[in-house]
């Protein structure tokens, strides 16, 4: 049964995170199951069940992901939670049949079943249309074949939303999405990938070898995968980089405390304008990035095209997050570079933001093209 989120539940969970203290550095890889269970018990994954997938639901989800980013001692948890919310739960609620929703949403929204979405391939990262995975209709089943990599939550997932080229009656019908259970014959999610950052958000490879998927497990219409993916990725970017805004707030809090407490030459180092400016630079990015994301969320469900704003927000916030991590290390000086400090981990966690959900280089080219710049 879906756990419906209440404000008191959520506030209690956030207060628990605050009492747990600042982020602790850890080189351990893998999802923190205890924190995941607590997050699930708070009702976080039932946000869309409670408020819908429209404006109210996205506003609630954005605020809670920002709260999580600011207070969680585990950034990988935030990243994995975004995948659960945007790529599994939103996708099913927005595009899945009533039967699929009834079968899979309760466990996903209770957090007892973890989901992921399988898009990226070795030769098809940002170039989605170049993917080689196929789904061939044979009677009442599709037969899926292909290999995916860099799939968030794959090593611990119960279900995956898999995107593949769809073949029906020998004709390529374009990309479609399928709800695949990882326990089915032919699905292999055992190959994990050892990343430098976000180590508590498990990432792995997915092998699909003649996987028989019931036709009813197709999400949406045949060939609608690209349109669905566009909508899913817009929500994923909103949530993931809202989490980054919260994480930058966490770094500001840590830096302000340190700058006030650390004394040099008889004064706190924060009295040095150059040190203070590093903190202020991060706060400026928080204000601009947060305002931009909130504006996009309000416009997303209307008829306005938010392709450029959302690409711009992703580029701006991901790069500001890296700069903020560097600034936090420099505010802390040598103490920030120690292995016992969480700040170097913050930096490694921030770097992939320029890569996932569409590389920043590609997004800059996309923005230029949409502005009418000739190629």
Count other Cβ atoms within 10 Å, centred on residue 208. Answer: 25
Tally of CB atoms within 10 A around 33: 10
Q: Is the dihedral of CA 345, 84, 292, 372 positive or negative?
A: positive
Q: What is the mean pLDDT of residues 18-42?
A: 76
Give the domain ranges of the chain.
7-114, 117-223, 226-370
Interval 56-82 mean pLDDT = 93
CA 357 from centre of chain: 8
> Is it true that domain 7-114 has CATH number 3.90.76.10?
no
pLDDT in tens, 274-286: 999 999 999 999 9
- Which residues are designated catalytic? 236
- 285-322 pLDDT tens trace: 999 999 999 999 988 877 788 999 999 999 999 999 99
Q: What does the alpha-carbon distance between residue 319 and residue 12 come to, in Å, rounded to a whole number?
A: 32
Architecture of domain 226-370: Up-down Bundle (1.20)
pLDDT tens digits, one per residue of 240-253: 999 999 999 999 99
Q: Which of 297, 236, 261 is nearest to 88 (CA)?
A: 236
Q: Is the pLDDT of residue 1 over 60?
A: no
117-223 homologous superfamily = Butyryl-CoA Dehydrogenase, subunit A, domain 2 (2.40.110.10)
């Amino acid at each position: 049964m879906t756990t419906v989120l209440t404000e008191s539940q959520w506030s209690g969970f956030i207060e628990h995170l605050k009492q747990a203290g600042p982020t602790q550095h850890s080189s351990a890889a893998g999802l923190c199951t205890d924190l995941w269970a607590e997050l699930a018990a708070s009702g976080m994954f039932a946000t869309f069940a409670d408020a819908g997938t429209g404006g109210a639901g996205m506003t609630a989800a954005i605020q809670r992901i920002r709260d999580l980013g600011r207070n969680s001692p585990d950034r990988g948890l935030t990243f994995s939670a975004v995948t659960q919310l945007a790529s599994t739960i939103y996708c099913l609620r927005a595009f899945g049949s009533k039967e699929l929703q009834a079968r899979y949403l309760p466990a996903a929204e209770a957090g007892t079943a973890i989901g992921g979405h399988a898009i990226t391939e070795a030769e098809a990262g940002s170039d989605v249309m170049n993917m080689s995975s196929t789904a061939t209709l044979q009677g009442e089943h599709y037969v899926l074949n292909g290999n995916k990599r860099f799939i968030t939550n794959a090593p611990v997932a119960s279900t995956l939303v898999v995107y593949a080229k769809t073949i029906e009656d020998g004709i390529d019908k374009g990309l479609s999405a399928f709800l695949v259970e990882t326990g089915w014959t032919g699905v292999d999610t055992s190959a994990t990938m050892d990343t430098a950052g976000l180590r508590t958000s498990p990432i792995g490879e997915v092998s699909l070898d003649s996987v028989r998927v019931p036709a009813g497990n197709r999400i949406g219409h045949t060939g609608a995968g690209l349109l669905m993916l566009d909508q899913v990725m817009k929500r994923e970017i909103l949530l993931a980089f809202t989490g980054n805004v919260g994480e930058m707030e966490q770094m500001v809090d840590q830096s302000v405390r340190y700058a006030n407490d650390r004394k040099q030459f008889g004064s706190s180092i924060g009295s040095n304008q150059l040190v203070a400016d590093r903190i202020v630079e991060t706060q400026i990015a928080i204000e601009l990035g947060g305002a931009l994301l909130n504006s996009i969320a309000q416009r997303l469900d209307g008829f306005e095209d938010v392709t450029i704003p959302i690409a711009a927000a992703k580029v701006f916030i991901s790069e500001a997050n890296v700069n903020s991590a560097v600034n936090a290390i420099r505010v802390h000086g040598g103490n920030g570079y120690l292995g016992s400090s969480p700040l170097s981990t913050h930096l490694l966690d921030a770097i992939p933001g320029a890569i996932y959900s569409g590389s920043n280089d590609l997004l800059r080219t996309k923005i230029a093209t949409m502005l009418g710049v000739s190629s």
